[in-house]
Amino acid sequence: MQRRSILLLGVMALMLGGMAPAQAASRTVWSGLVIANNVENPEPIPLELNPLEGTLKSLFGYNQFKVIGQSRKPLVSGSEDWLASSKYFSLHVDSKGSNSAGYVLTLKLFQEKNLLLETDAKLSKASPLVIKGPQVGDGQLLLVLVVQ
């Protein structure tokens, strides 16, 4: 009986101790290539950008935001890399590690094979990142990264 008590307590302690890593391992980073422009009948904003709708509209002055390329990457080790790409653009993301605040990322925006922009950022779990890219036609290319 005594042995059973110790076993039960051990299992409970392991379960409680495992809660923190499980929470950390369940994060996903959504990366999107977004074209913002003004049209008469704008399409509804994509679900991933819904929380940012007000900020995007007020910052850039456009009424439509269309995702032309995206990637949803679950981060387990914190050291992964992935690509979000459209027909002409690609965003390469290299995660260099993570801590309790977020992920250290290196982002590279390519227009076909030309490197347009490179940046290192610490992406927080509570704070999305928006990058203003080049003008495309009458609109604007935006890069958006959100930890979900």
Contact residues: other proteins, CB under 8 A: 1, 5, 8-9, 12-13, 16-17, 19-20, 35, 37, 51-52, 54-55, 59, 66, 68-69, 86-89, 100-102, 104, 111, 114-124, 126-139, 141
Closer to other proteins by CB, 9 or 76: give it. 9
Closer to other proteins by CB, 92 or 122: give it. 122
Q: How far is CA 107 from CA 27, 59, 104, in A?
A: 18, 22, 10
Report the nearest approach of other proteins to the CB of residue 138 (Å). Answer: 7
Q: Please answer whether residues 141 and 31 qualify as being in contact, where contact means their C-beta atoms are separated by less than 8 angstroms.
A: no
What is the helix, strand, coil percentage profile of the chain, to 5? Answer: 25, 50, 25
Closer to other proteins by CB, 1 or 77: give it. 1
At 10, which helix (H) or strand (E)? helix 2-17
Report the nearest approach of other proteins to the CB of residue 4 (Å). Answer: 9
Report the nearest approach of other proteins to the CB of residue 91 (Å). Answer: 13
Report the nearest approach of other proteins to the CB of residue 33 (Å). Answer: 9
Helix (H, G, I), strand (E, B) or coil at 141: strand
Closest by CA to 70, choosing from 136, 130, 145, 147, is 145
Closer to other proteins by CB, 43 or 118: give it. 118
Closer to other proteins by CB, 48 or 139: give it. 139
